Amino acid sequence: MEVTKDTIIGDVLDYDIDTAQFFFEIGMHCLGCPHSRGESIEAACEVHGTDCDELVSKINAFLASKN
C-alpha cells in the first residue's frame, strides 16, 4: 500500500493496524471513532497541527520495512 495525504485513515488501519502508533504520536487517540476513520490523513494532520508529509513518510517507511 502506498499512503498519500489523501488516503483515508481507516484504510490505512485496515491494511495494517500497527500503523495506529503513528496516529497516536500526533495525539489522535480517537481512532475507533467512525468520523476519524473516515477522514484523510491530511485532514487529521490539519486538526492536530502536524506536518502531513512527515507523517505520510513515516507510515510509508514503516510499511516498506515490513515487506
49-64: pLDDT as tens digits: 999 999 999 999 999 9
C-alpha closest to that of 12 among 47, 33, 39: 39
Cα–Cα distance measured from residue 3 to residue 38, given in angstroms and rounded to the nearest whole number: 15
6-59: pLDDT as tens digits: 999 999 999 999 999 999 998 887 777 777 788 999 999 998 899 999 999 999
Question: Which amino acid makes up residue 11?
Answer: D
Q: What is the pTM of this model?
A: 0.90
Q: Give the model's pLDDT for residue 61.
A: 98
Contact call for residues 51 and 42 (beta carbons, < 8 A): no
